[in-house]
Structure formats: structure tokens, C-alpha cells
Structure 1
Amino acid sequence: MQYRGKSIEIIGKRQMFDKTFCWIHILENDVFKQVMIDEIEDYHSNLDALSYARYVSIAARIQGEIAQKRLLAPYESSLTPLPHQILVLEKVMQGLQTRYLLADEVGMGKTIEAGLVLKEKKLRGEVKRVLLIVPKSAMLQWQSELREHFCENFHIYDSSFINSMAKTFASFDAEDELNFWKQHNQIIVSSDALKPLTVRDGWSQKRVDEYNKYRLEAVLEAEFDMVIIDEAHKMGGATAQVSRYVMADALCNSVPNVLLLSATPHRGKSDHFRRVLQLIDPDTFTGDGMPSIAEIQPYVMRSEKRFALDYDGKKLFQQRETQRLNVLTEKWEFAKQHQLYEDVTEYVKKSFENALDMNSYAKGLVMVMFQKLASSSTAAVLSAMRNRYKRLQEGEDPDELEEYGEQDSLRYSDFEEEGLMAAEMDVVYNAGIAFNEIDELGKLIRKAEEVMRIEKDAKMVALLDKIYQLRSDPSEENLKVLVFTEFRGTQEYLIESLKDAGLDCVGINGSMSLTARKNALQRFKDDVPVMVATDAAGESLNMQFCHIVINYDLPWNPMALEQRIGRIDRIGQSHKVVAINMLTDNSVDSRIYNTIMSKLDTIMDELGIDKTSDVLDSTIEMKHLNQLYLQSLLDPRQFEKDSKKWLNEIKDKLRNYRSTEHALPSISEKEITKTAASEVKYSPLPIWLEDLMDLHCINVKGFYDKMLNGLTLYHLPDGNLGAIFDSKWEEDNPAAIHITLQHPIIQHIIRDIDGGIGREIPVIQSLSGEERPGYLTLWKVTGKNDNETKVCYSAQYISDNGRVFAPYGQTLWDMLVKRKAQFKGIGFMASDPTITENAQLQKNLYSVFLKIESEIQSGIAAKLDKKRHVMDVAEIRIRRIGIENIRQGKLKKLQEQRDLFENNLSHAYNVVPDVKHILTVRING
């Protein structure tokens, strides 16, 4: 039933002075109102009898299915969770409280697991306000994945936003302090933006206190229900006084639900590992030494790749092969190109030594970029040299990195100023070296222009040869090749050169919006054989449909290289992954590759460590790695000595990691089964939702078009909508909306059926003539106490002679839900309230309620014990909060909750029944 377009239920009717009016309950906003009966409408006005019967039957079936599910989140995401991910969700939700460390190996989908837990707890009404703490570089990716996969919108609070809000709110003259952390219920923030300060150069203590007031202190007062910390190993710190640990400890003590995510939480150090675990439970993990498996087991879950299965029970990850493609520039046809590289390297050395002499960090960074550009492509280094030459001539600052347009690809955050300059480097260089840089650049530019004019690019020739060789394989007719470069200048050159050679290609880089990147990705998937990407662009896109990645130039961070390959070596990849590393025969790059890549791989093979593990991220400090790169350029003899020392240190760290890896309890192979994932993957819910949406479209006088790729275009009175109903079509339709149970239209439809039957009921005819004449009725039976609500949808068939058959009612309901319903619509007839007065019907419905009541009451004792335990543990945590006023405020609030809970205990076993008549259908045999 509807009133002015809103779903209602009629509470009662009354007639006075020849007028009939009703008391109604508007379901959308929970408002009660008295209206004239003429204003109430049946909501089937544009549906025929059979369509209307199916419309309500399908909506009720969806509600009934969901009411019986142990887990809801897997059905609400735009992807099908894998067996190990559903197992993690089950384990988390079965715990006494949600405080866990998810320590899956890298690539196993910890982000998806965290999203599932978050969604499940929201659907159950257990959390509302969520704070997500992630590395700054991952904020956008987290925001995008939670929105796309779980329809959860998070607001990003970066440093500039926090600074701006702090200034604004500090200026308010209000009796009650305003807290901008309460403005949104779901927030993403970086740990660096949130961590407190103790001192800062040039700042008074008052300014430091003011800074902290609007960060950690304000967050603690904002009453979040849940905190999720990504890369939680970074919170452990060297001591308990490190600001990141202070922040994490205060937050985890003040919030009931905590998820920590890290593939390498122990990092080979027992004291560090204990501090991370204390964020979950401070009492259990006091003491020294590595905690035992028995201690850790209740709090830590780790899924390993070797046990990972797909939906069909097959191993999840494919084999990987790495190839080295040597590019020889010393050949006669590339002689000028080879000499240009040597000349640019000499120019970079002089300029870098000049930067060391001047202690110019900015110029040092630019020279690092120039050296890398020279290894990448002549086109890229020529563009940069022209830019610098022009700025030097015009008297502008030539050392502003942003002016070169390459800063999004280079990871200069890994370069520390003191490490880039000579203070921590044992480098031989000529202090006070003098040279005319403008003249030098002019000569180099002319040489580079000559190379571009008369010689082919050696790397470009090798790339084309390799791509054509790969595509010549008859089994690789639709081969896709992903090419990575660090530089936009090289990217533009590659795209132009590949197109000139007859290969269509598309590019993505960090300057493009996420929508533009997705559109480019769609073209790559559908039509284009080659994509050229920069590192910044590849971070948020997955390309399992491609299994060949070519690294045109190499970042000297093994994890950056791994992240490139990780774009295609992902869950869902069906081919062996092949990574091809292109390497020119110049001394700087060769020295680095042979030391960093080859020898490091050998060490990891010796120790049996998976190269895809992010253990490297835990053992390699980029400052030292970048120092080696500079030494390879400036002082090759010192490089040989220091590289051996560095490799020995890394080997010791990796050996230490290997010896402590067993400290993490892993989910066993026998626990991971495909059953739960198969239930989700092969659930009929997507089909029912699609049918329901189609019928709704007709009912609101719209129309729809079905596409072959799973897309349905709905033309509705209030706008058009492109929708998919199964996550398997998501890659084919990146711009479409995935319709799930939480979509507003679906929620509106479901509220409609809760309003009960209208004044008319549909009449349908059996096509076979075999069905018995009578009435199919659908009922929503509810049992509710102060802590829990259980719902069951029941079908009851009433024959014309008054007999009631529940099993036959279920059969008829199933037939109406199916797409090929075995009925035809006849029309509508006036509803007959006497039908529902049947004594056997009422007895059947009472039996349904008794079952619900029994289920609720049987679990009350365990739930009450769990609630008390959670409150006791929460009090212990809150008493550890160091800020007095926040601690006292939270203790007061907890006591109020405890008092209310204890006062309501006497009513816990009182289960209140409710029965709603959802549908009556007249069946003509």
C-alpha cells in the first residue's frame, strides 16, 4: 500500500459522518498519520495480475533468504569473496569481540576481508562510525575499493584538510567545543596526519598542544565504533614512546572493534611484535620474547597462498616467470645513442658533484631524475634537458622538480635529504668543480636531437621485436601486453612509436582521473593489444586479463617492481605470469641490476622466501638502496664494497625473518573449503534482484533494454540507470552500478511489501490446469526482544474447502519466483478478510513463531555472557587511556550502558510476536 508515493501499512480504520479514514504507518520515515482512505493506493497499479504476484513473491523470497543467512556481507559486495576470505569473516564474527590481526600473505586480499567485516557489522547494526588509518599513498585506493566493492563511502581527511578544519573550528566561540571528526561517520586518515607531536623545531608547547588537540585528542572524543589500521607493523615502533604507537595504543584502547592488517607483523623482532599484539589485548601480550602460537591463536589469522583455492576448489595462484631482455646499444647502428648516454652520465656526475658542493638537495634530486631518464629513453631526457636549458636561460629556478612533469612516477619520498647529500655517503667527488652548465646542456640537446633524427631507439626496436614475437604464437591470438615506464615523457614516446609501427595502444598515468583510467583500462581489455602505464597509474587498477608485463625501465626498489607485476599476478589470473625486464648495457644500470635484483633473488631462493611476499618491504630501507644507486654512478669502486656489505645485512635480516615466520598461526588447508564461497557465487539472489528491478521498472511506467554483456539499461521516470546484477560482469561494465540488496530502489521495494496486502488481490490461472483451486498466502512472522529480532517468511496454501497445506504453499511460491512461471494472469478481485480467519492457518503461523521464540531464547545466556565480557574488557582498556577527561567521559558512558543493560535483563526472555499478511493470490486450477 502507498500514500502519496510512500510505502505504508494500515494500522486501523474508522468511519464517521459517512467518511472512512485510516491510521497509517509510513515505513520510510517511521511516521504515524491519520488520512482519508481515498488517498491510499495499491502499488500494483501498472502491473498485471501475474507480474504483481511475482513482484511480491520475489521480494518476500529475497527477504526470507537473507533472514536465514549466517553472513550477509558476501551477498552485499560487488565481488564474490574467495573461500579463505569467507572463512576469515566467519571466524571474526564468531569471536567474543572483534579485535583481530589479519596477517594474510600479500596478495590474499586483506582489504576485501576488512571490507567484509566492516559491511557485516554495519548490516547487523553493530557499528556506525568507522575510522580507517592507512598509509598516505593508499588513501585513494582504499576509498575507491570500499565504494566499488561494498557501497561504503569514506571521506578522506588528509593533512591539508585537517589543518584547514583545525583553523576554522579553533576560531568558533562556542560554549560546547565543536569536533570536526564527528562530521562524518566513515573517515580515512593517514597515520602521519594523525600521530601526536611531542616537540617540533620552532614551536612552543602551546602550539604543540593545539596541534594535538585537533588530531588524536579530538578523534578519541569522536566516539568511533571501529578502527581499522592498514600496515599495522608500522605502528609497533622501536619503543612504546614512538608517536605512531602512542596514537595506535590510545585509539585501540578507546574503541571496541579493532582490525589490524599486516602481512609481516613480527618483522623478526619479538618486542616489536608484542607491541603490535598489545594493541589488540594489552594484558595477554605483556612480557618478553616471541609469544607462543597458543597465545596468538585467538587473535591472529593468517591465510597462505599455498592453501588458497578458487570457487571451484582449484589452486588460486599461477606460476610466474621472470625474463631478462638485454638491449645492446654498443652496436654500430646505435653508436650515437650509446655515446649520448655516456655524455649525459658525465654531465649528471658533474652537476651532482656541484650539488654536493652547494649542499643543494633539490638539484641533487633533479640529477637523479636525469640519470634515470637517460636510461629510459632519449625522447624523455631530451625533453627534460630542453626544459632545464630554457629555465637556466630565463633565470628561473631549474631545480623545481614539479616543472619536469615526472614527479608522479618517481618515488622521491624514499630519498631522504641527509642520505642524498654527502653526510652519510662515502663518495669520492671533486669539490668545487666548475663548468658552464648552459653550454654543456646546449651540446647535449644538439646531440640528442641528432640521435632522434638519424638513429632508431635501441630499446624501442627491442620492445617491438619482443611484442611481435609474443604475438606470433598461434595460441596467443588476443595477447595483451602491459608496458611499464617510470616517466611520462617515455610513455608519450612509446605510445607514438607503437602506433607508428601499427600497434594500437592506450596509456594511463597519474595525471588522469580514476574515471579516465578505468575507461582506458576498458579499451585495453576490449580492443587494444598494448597498454603503456606509469607506476602511479598502475597502483589502483587490476588487469588479470593480461599475463605479460614488460618493464621498459626499472625502478631500483624491488617492491616497486613487484607492485608492477602485481597488477596482473592477482587472484583471477588464469595464465602463467611472464615479467620481462629490459636492461641496456650501460654500466650504472647493469651494476645495480646485477647486485640488487639478481643477487637478492638468489638469496631469497636460498632461504626459501616467496618473492611476492612483502617481507622485502620490511627489510629493505630505501635510503640505503638509493645511496647504492648514487655510488654506482659517482664512485663505482666504493659501490662494489658497499653493495657486498648491504647484501650481507639484507641476508641476515631475511634469515631472521625466516626464523620467526613460524610465530604466526596459519589457517590450515582443511579449514578452507569452497562450500561457503560456492553458496555466494551460485546464489540465486542476483537473478531475483534483476527480476524484481525489471518488474519495478514496468510498475513505474518505465522500460528497459537487456545487453549481451550482463548490462541492463533502465529508463525510469526520474532518470536512466545502467545496472549489473552479477559481479562477473563488472570488468565488462566498469561504469555500471552493481545492484545489491542495499541499493535504495531495492530497499524501497522491500519496504513496499512490508505494508501488507491491498484492497485487491491478483487472480492467476495454471497453464497446465493441474494446480488445485484455492489461495496462496505469504506471511512475515517476527519474534523480537530487547537485543535481537528474528524473521521468517512463511507460505500457506488454503484450499477452497478450507484445508491448509504449508508444503504446497511453498511449492506455489517457488513456482512464482521462477522466471518461467507456469501461470497466466487473469485480473484482480476484492480481497476477502475471512480467508485469513482459518483456525488451521493461525495454528501454523503460531508454530512458526514458537520456533523463532525457541531460537532466540536458546542463545540468550551465551549472548548475555558475551555482552558482560565485552563491557568488562572495554573498561580495562578505557582505564589505560592517558588523557584524564577523555578517560572519565568514556567510563561514564560505559557505566550508563552497563546500567541500562542490567536493567533490561529481566525482559530478555520476553519475545514479542508480530505477523504481517504480505500477499494473497487466487489460484484458478
Structure 2
Amino acid sequence: MDGYDLVDVEVTHRDAEDLLSDSTDADGHRHTVQAARLRAGQTDTGLHSLAQLDGESVKLLEHQVDAAHRALFEMNGKALLADEVGLGKTIEVGMILKEMAYRDTDGSVLILTPAQLAKQWQAELREKFGLQFICNYDDEFDGFDAHSHIIASIDTAKSDRYRTEVLARNWDVLVLDEAHYVKNEETDRYDLIDQITYDYAFFLTATPIQNELTDLYNIISLLRPGLFGTRDVFDQYFVDTSQETLVNRNELQERLGKVMIRNKRAETDIDFTDRIIDTRTFEPSTKERALYDAVSDYVRGAYAQNQGQKLVLMLLQKEVVSSPWALERTIQRRLDEQASLDGTEELQGILDQLDAIEAVTKEERLLDIVEEARERVEMGRVIVFTQFRATQDALLERLAADGYTTHAFHGGHSSEEKEAIVEAFEANGGVLVSTDAMNEGRNLQFCNIMVNYDLPWNPMKVEQRIGRIHRIGQKREVYVFNMALKGTIEEYVLERLYHKIDLFQQTVGELSSILTRLEESGTSFEDEIFNRLVNAGSEVDLENDFDAMAVDLQEQRELAAKVEQFNSGVFEGFDLGDSDD
């Protein structure tokens, strides 16, 4: 781009758009003539700020540096960063914002993320790039008109309380994480982004196409209005009526090349470590088996009488394979609520069976894993995941009694407490027992052993757990231990579903494609599992039902693979960029 005037480039860009559309629907956004500010006072387009970064805090990879450079200087400061999962899109944005701070073009910056990732963004930008942002979850946050550098949940920004403040301001920079969440123009999120005014914008998503090519059209039309003309023209010009093949492919790729950067894992120099899965199923004791059967019978009977109880009954079915302590709390609460209703006798019987259990099989077997880690792994670090606070409390008590250094992590901790817990785990080692609150974008590459003490029925949650340790920066093989009791719903989910779709070797993006297609009927993955459990007439029926579900999942996986092939056709030609620099 050196030697070209950015205004002239934009005029040429708009002339090309006019071939498809007589107008550019760019209301609410400034023309990218403001991108000239990026070059003000500079005789070249180098990333000068990189020299200021501490190599100990952040290791910049070639594809990340290239993406940041192209987004700033070849795309006029408006780009869709669409790298595959795990390639460091946040790092790319960090480099972009660092360079903009160096050039004094970041007077006001708004970063919108899913709620669970806001604090992660704040920490990464501060620790790796020295960039200070306030988060809407901080006590010091006084609104969107009171700070110059803000990270916020997109749902907070679109809320009635803050929407007017957000839209009243012209932002120098807008960053939108997980941009595929705004693919639907009928949503409040889409409407918010459509109305925000900004000079520069950087959208991030690993899955720019989830179901059809128009997903991509909607996202890019927010970022660069008019690039593809109207939607009708876009559909007629680039996609056949079946949505399965492209037409005018070369022109589509040329236009995407103006705004989108996509790096793929297979084509980078990153050497991801292996992921080793160790599934351990255990025979429950006689008393544990009797308890499981009693709870399952109660759940089936109660659901047949009142399907409105579905959520609490599903909870009971999950708790019984997690621990007696988790189950006890829910049973006691249910007894208190139903003191005068039928069915309390059955619940009291379950409570009596709970009291009779003296040893918990999974707890004993967990000690085998953590003891082996204490002997063979640096500082004996292990992360143990459970869905239930009562199970967490019991495991922490038992581990501490056996002499292990322990750490608890759950949603009840403040952001500052969570940071301190992770730091203590890294510094002191031992065993961190966490609920799924740890899914909130935490990076724990310093640990390479993880235990699923109980298994979420949603495979996305399992992959998100694994993703805490299996990511860029992990230098060792990652070991994932899955624990399940034989002959329970947990074993069915693990053996008949997760292993049959190779869950543990897939990425979040691939799983998202499978589950999105499966759930288009309106039934969630967890609902499907529960329905099969309560409606099965016998053990054989249950096995057959889960086998049938595995076949359905495999079909969805094949459809997802076809979508990926389609995507590859769209993205082909600029996966690693065509920069001459």
C-alpha cells in the first residue's frame, strides 16, 4: 500500500462495489478516509510498537504479526480476523491496539465480547501489551461515556441501561469478539453494531460461516457496508439456489481479500502438542448401584407425572453420578418443598440410601490419578472439573486431608479472587478443583493434566474445559482423564456418544458446527439425552437409543464436513495472506 493515497484506494473500492449495487448503505459509519491518520507522521507502515513488547510476556508468531500488519495497513483499519480456533486472534488485536496507541489513534476504544470473556481480554491486554482497559464488571466502571478504553459484554452494551450511551459516542476503535453472534440481522446485537459509529473496526470469529454463506454477508456488511452490494444481488451473483456451490468464485475471493484474514492451523508453524485421552470406568459398589437405580426410577416416575419438572429431574440424574454430597443437597431441598405432597416417602428412601454409603468409588480412584501426578509431574499440578459445588467441597476436603496442596475455583469468587487463585496454583502446584466457572476464557498452559470427575452432557463444555490447557503455549502432551461409573448414564454419554464422534480430538469450531445442525429442531443436546433416558423401556432400549443418537451425530458430523469443504472453497487463496512485505 506504500505510495498509494488511502482516499484514492477507497474510491476505487467503491467503484467496484457499484458493479453490484447502485448504493452503498454506509449510513452510520465514517468513510475510511480517517485511516490516513494511521500513517500521519510516518514514512513507512512498520509495526513500530512491537519493539516495546516484553518477549517474556508475549511471544509473537509470524502469522499473527502478518495479520496485524495487513489489518492496519492493507485493509484501512477495518478487518475480519477469522483465524481457526486457537491461533491467537486476541494477540493479533493486542498488536493492532498497541500500534494504534503508538500512533495516537486510539483515543476511544470499545471492545465488545461475550460476558465470560471480558475479564480475560482485560488481563491479556494488560499483561501482554501494557494496555489499560476498564471492564464493565469492575467496581470503578461508571458507564460508557466515562472512560476512554472499555471492555464490555455485548449484552451489557445493548441493554436499555447503556444502549443510548454507547450509540451517542463516536468511537475511534470498535473490537467485536465472536462476531458470528451478530450474523442474524433480526437481533438486538446486530442492530447495536449496525448503529455504532466508529473510525476503525476489527471483528473476530473462527466460524464466519456457520450455516450458509449469508452469515458471512451479514457480518461483513456490518464491518464494510456495500462491499457485496445488496443481499439480493449477493445471493444472485455468488450463490446458486441450493446454497451448495459458488459462482463467480474468483470475484468473491477478491472481495473477501479486502476485509478478511484467515489463518489455518495446518498452515502455520505452530506445533500443537498431542492430546492423550484416558477414559476410566469403574464398577460402582453395591450401595452406589442401588442408589443410582433408585434415583433413576424416581426421575422416570416423576417425569411421567409432571414434565414441567424436567430441569430438576435432569439435575438429580447428573448429581447421582457425581457424588452423594451433590445429590443430598437437592434431595433435601426437594423434601422441604414437598413436605405435604405425595412422593416424599420415595425421596426419604433415597436420602437413607445416601447416608449408608461409606466409600465413594470415583473419589478413591481420583486419588490414584493425583498421586501419580504428584510423583511424575512438575509440582503435581492437576485440574479436576466437576459441575457441582458440593462435590467440589468434598473433594477439596479429602485431598487436603491426604496432604495435597489444594485450590478451589468457582463462580462465587470475584474476578480478583479468581486471578489470585490461578496465580497460586501456578506458583504452588497441587490440585485445583474447579466448577465450570473455569470455562470463562482462562489460560492455564502451565498445567497439562485434567480430570473430568463428572461429565457435562453438552460436549462443547467438555471441549471448553480441555481448551484451558490445550492451546498455544502448551509445551507438553496434554492428558485428559475421564471418570465414569459403569452402567450409568455417564458411561452411555462417554462411550456411546463422545467416543463415537471422536469428541476429544475435535475443535470447538467443529463441535459447534455439529451441534448447531443437530439443535436446529429446537431440542438441545442435553434434552435429547434426558428424553432417551426417561423414555427407554429397558436397558436394551436405552443402549439402542444411544446407538441411534450416535448415528445421528455422525450424520451431522458429515454435514459439518461438507460445510467445511464449502468454506474452504470460499476461503481458498488467502488463508495465509498475499502480502509482499
TM-score higher than 0.5? yes
Preserved CA contact (<8 Å) 2:382 2:449: yes
Question: CA 1:450 to 1:552, structure 2 compared with 1: closer, same or farther past 3 Å?
Answer: same
| CA-CA distance at 1:471 after TM superposition | 4.8
Residue in 1 that maps onto 2:531: 631
Indicate which of 336, 342, 357 corresponds to 2:287.
336
Task: State the Cα distance separating 1:365 from its structure 2 match.
Answer: 2.0
Secondary structure, counterpart of 1:279 in structure 2: helix
Q: Is the 8 A contact 1:73 1:123 kept in 2?
A: no
1:323 correspondence with 2:290:
no
SS of structure 2 residue aligned to 1:226: strand
1:801-856 C-alpha deviation (Å, 9 max, x unpaired): xxxxxxxxxxxxxxxxxxxxxxxxxxxxxxxxxxxxxxxxxxxxxxxxxxxxxxxx
Q: Show the 5 A alignment for 1:502-901.
A: 502-601=403-502, 611-621=506-516, 623-636=523-536, 637=541, 639-640=545-546, 643=549, 646-647=552-553, 650-662=556-568, 663-665=570-572
**Alignment match, 1:182:** 145
Tell me the residue number matched to 2:243. none
Show CA shifts across 1:764-787 (max 9, x none): xxxxxxxxxxxxxxxxxxxxxxxx
Q: Which amino acid aligns with 1:271?
A: T
CA apart distance, 1:222:
1.0
1:241 shift after superposition: 4.0
Residue 232 (structure 2) pairs with residue 281 (structure 1): no
Distance 1:161 1:355, change over 3 A: farther
Secondary structure of the structure 2 residue equivalent to 1:267: coil
CA distance 1:641–1:228, change in 2 (3 Å):
same
Q: Distance in 2 between matches of 1:266 and 1:148?
A: 32
User: Per-residue deviation at 1:510?
Assistant: 1.5
Equivalent residue for 1:446, pick from 333, 352, 368:
352
What pairs with 1:242-321 in structure 2 (closer than 5 Å)? 242-251=187-196, 254-286=197-229, 287-288=234-235, 289=239, 292-309=252-269, 315-321=270-276
Partner of 1:132: 111
1:436 counterpart residue number: 342
- 1:339, distance to aligned residue in structure 2 (A): 0.7
The Cα offsets for residues 247-284 of structure 1, whole Å up to 9 and x where unpaired, read as: 33333xx3221111000101241122122222232322
Matched residue SS, 1:188:
strand
Alpha-carbon distance, 1:642 to partner: 6.5
- 2:423 partner SS: helix
CA RMSD of aligned residues (A): 3.3
CA pair 338-665 structure 1, distance change in 2 beyond 3 A: same
C-alpha distance in 2, partners of 1:593/1:443? 29
Alignment match, 1:236: 183
Corresponding position of 1:866: none
| TM-superposed deviation, 1:161 | 12
User: Is the 2:463–2:508 Cα contact (8 Å) retained in structure 1?
Assistant: no
Which amino acid is 2:561 matched to?
R
Output the amino acid matched with 2:506.
K
Q: CA deviation at 1:570?
A: 1.9
Distance 1:626 1:161 in 2: 39
Show the counterpart of 1:374. Answer: 320
Q: Give the deviation of 1:87 after TM superposition.
A: 2.0
Deviations 1:456-487 (A, max 9, x none): 211112212233345555xx464422111111
Cα pair distance change 1:355/1:133, threshold 3 Å: farther
Give the aligned length: 506
Cα distance in 1 for partners of 2:332, 2:153 equals 38
CA distance in structure 2 between the partners assigned to 1:670 and 1:257 by the alignment: 20
Q: Flag the 1:217–1:516 CA change in 2: closer, same or farther, 3 A.
A: closer
SS in 2 for 1:614: helix
Separation in structure 2 between the aligned mates of residue 293 and residue 671 of structure 1, nearest angstrom: 12
Q: Distance in 2 between matches of 1:241 and 1:515?
A: 37
1:94 equivalenced with 2:39 (yes/no): no
Partner of 1:709 in structure 2? none
2:559 aligned partner, one-letter code: K
SS at match of 2:499: helix
Question: How many angstroms does 1:644 deviate by?
Answer: 5.4
Contact residue 506 and residue 528 of structure 1 kept, 8 A: no
Of 60, 71, 75, the residue aligned with 1:81 is 60
Q: Distance in 2 between matches of 1:565 and 1:512?
A: 21
What is the SS of the residue equivalent to 2:566? helix
What is the alpha-carbon distance in structure 2 between the residues aligned to residue 368 and residue 548 of structure 1?
29
AA aligned to 2:322 is: S
Distance in 2, Cα, partners of 1:130 & 1:353: 54
Are 2:46 and 2:69, in contact at CA under 8 Å, matched by a contact in 1? no
Q: Offset at 1:436?
A: 2.5
Offset of 1:660 from its aligned partner?
A: 1.8
Report SS of the residue matched to 1:285: coil
**What amino acid maps onto 1:247 in structure 2?**
L
Tell me if structure 2 keeps the 8 A contact 1:155–1:187. Answer: yes
User: Which 5+ residue runs of structure 2 have no aligned equivalent?
Assistant: 1-43, 240-245
Alpha carbons of 1:599 and 1:485: their partners in 2 closer, same or farther (altered >3 Å)?
same
Residue 118 of structure 1 is matched in structure 2 by 97
Paired AA for residue 444 in structure 1: I
2-structure distance, mates of 1:103, 1:521: 29
Q: Identity of paired residues, percent?
A: 28
**Inter-partner Cα distance in structure 1 for 2:294 and 2:279:** 26
Counterpart CA distance in 2 for 1:542 and 1:241 is: 34
Q: TM-score, normalised by structure 2?
A: 0.78
Instruction: Write the letter of the residue equivalent to 1:302.
Output: R
Contact in 1 for aligned 2:513/2:560 (Cα 8 Å): no
Is contact 1:268-1:656 (8 Å) kept?
Answer: no
Q: If each structure's strand is expressed as a fraction of its own residues, which one has the higher value? A: 1
The corresponding residue for 1:486 is 387
Amino acid of the structure 1 residue aligned with 2:293 = E
| Aligned mates of 1:297, 1:265 — CA distance in 2 | 14
CA contact (8 A) 1:226 1:258 kept: yes
Determine helix, strand or coil for the equivalent of 1:256: strand
| Cα deviation, residue 183, structure 1 | 2.4
Residue number among 310, 318, 327 corresponding to 1:364 in the alignment = 310
**Cα 1:274–1:477 shift into 2, 3 Å:** closer
Query: Which position in structure 2 is the counterpart of 1:848?
Result: none
Aligned residues of 2:119 and 2:415 also touching (Cα < 8 A) = no
Is residue 224 from structure 1 mapped to residue 171 from structure 2 by the alignment? yes
Distance 1:665 1:279 in 2: 23
Aligned residue runs from structure 1 range 184-199, under 5 A? 184-195=147-158
Shift of 1:551: 0.6
User: Aligned with 2:170: secondary structure?
Assistant: coil
Q: 1:734 maps to which residue?
A: none
- RCO greater where, 1 or 2, for CA within 8 Å and sep 6 or more? 1
Query: Residues 575 and 236 of structure 1: is their aligned pair in 2 closer, same or farther, counting only changes over 3 Å?
Result: same
- What is the CA distance between 1:560 and its match in structure 2? 1.0
CA 1:96–1:343: 2 relative to 1, 3 Å: closer
**Separation (CA, whole Å) in 1 of partners of 2:273 and 2:291:** 41
> Normalized against structure 1, the TM-score is what?
0.51
CA change 1:478–1:151 in 2 (3 A) is: closer
Q: Structure 2: which amino acid aligns with 1:300?
A: M
Deviation readout 1:517-564 (Å, 9 max, x if unpaired): 333333333333322111103534322222111111111222211111
Aligned ranges for residues 8-47 of structure 1 at < 5 Å?
A: none
Amino acid at match of 1:564: R
Using the TM superposition, give the Cα deviation of residue 593 of structure 1 relative to its aligned residue in structure 2, in angstroms. 2.4
In structure 1, distance between residues paired with 2:312 and 2:355: 21
